[in-house]
Amino acid sequence: MTLGGTISLVHVVLSILIFIVIFFGIGFLLNMLLRMTWLMAIIYPVIVILIIDEVKIYEYFTKPAYAFRMLGEKIMALHTVDIVILSSGLVGAIISGFVIKTLRKQGYQMF
């Protein structure tokens, strides 16, 4: 994320494209292997939390008040650019779900 620095428009556009492509690809592969069309779109918020949060996973169970408070602070501290880039990954995951559904309707059977 930007961490208080500046980011150029080229970096923003490339980051958006990379997030769309990465999560489209991961979602597409998961859909083919597990046959769960919307799995990546459901898992994506957890991935975003892991990307932005600095709290250990076990602290959500051992110290939930602290962990969720820190998560809330990190979410509120995100810049618009960060939100757009992270949202583009969700768009890629959703697009992969639609592509898989369309391919299955057209008779393609992946694995």
Question: For the segment 26-83, what is each residue's pLDDT rounded down to a tens digit?
Answer: 999 998 888 888 888 999 999 999 999 989 999 999 999 999 999 999 999 999 999 9
Count the alpha carbons within 13 Å of 22 in the hemisphere toward its beta carbon. 14
The two tokens of residue 90 are: 């969700």
Domain locations in the chain as residue ranges: 9-105
pTM score: 0.82
On the 0-12 / 13-18 / 19+ scale of CB atoms within 10 A, 85 is buried
